[in-house]
Amino acid sequence: MAISKERKEELVGIYGELLGQATGFVLADYKGISVKQVNAIRDKLRDVDGAYVIVKNTLFKIALKEAGWPVPDDLLAGPTGVIFGAANFPAVAKATLGFVKDYENLFVVKGGVMAGAILDAKQVDTVSNLPSLDELRAQLIGLISQPATGLAGVINAAVAGVPQVLQAYVSKNEAA
């Protein structure tokens, strides 16, 4: 069934909006997956600030070019579902690989794009093992606060030692 020119422009605009908010995306083959399963995927992705969209490959290529993203031509063949990651792409990649396990042979990761680089399926798996943005923030705060805690301990020990030195001096002078 042919799509009107207006509908094509609308789809390119929708894809462009999603790309504008994305930090990366995963491309997947979804042959044989039911509507109920697609809705389950979409529900789980909302929890990690992700979105799942089934795209028209030629229109998605146009949207990628317009948005300045690299175009993974070899990955955009056959039925393609795109999983967009807005703020936390590693968490979205991890959730996506969970669907691969849940819907084996129905939902297959082809690859993805992150930070201007085209990723194969194995690289998407590697990205899924990266710590989340919140975990990275916690690690960074720990690295920053650890030396500060040690410095505060040294200063407190020095300040606590001053009265003891004064008391020893006073005791020595009273004895003399």
Question: Would you give the DSSP letter of residue 75?
Answer: G
Q: What CA–CA distance (Å, rounded) separates 109 from 96?
A: 8
Per the CB < 8 A criterion, the answer to whether 132 and 88 are in contact is yes
Q: Is 105 left (phi over 0), alpha (psi -120 to 50) or beta?
A: left
Q: For residues 78 and 29, is the Cβ–Cβ distance under 8 A? A: yes
Domain ranges of the chain: 5-130, 131-176
φ/ψ (deg, to 5) at 49: 60, 45
- pLDDT tens sequence across 85-106: 887 888 888 888 888 887 777 8
* Per-residue pLDDT band at 148 (split at 50, 70, 90): low
Q: Which two tokens stand for residue 21?
A: 């908010």
Model pTM score? 0.72
Into which CATH architecture does domain 5-130 fall?
Answer: 2-Layer Sandwich (3.30)
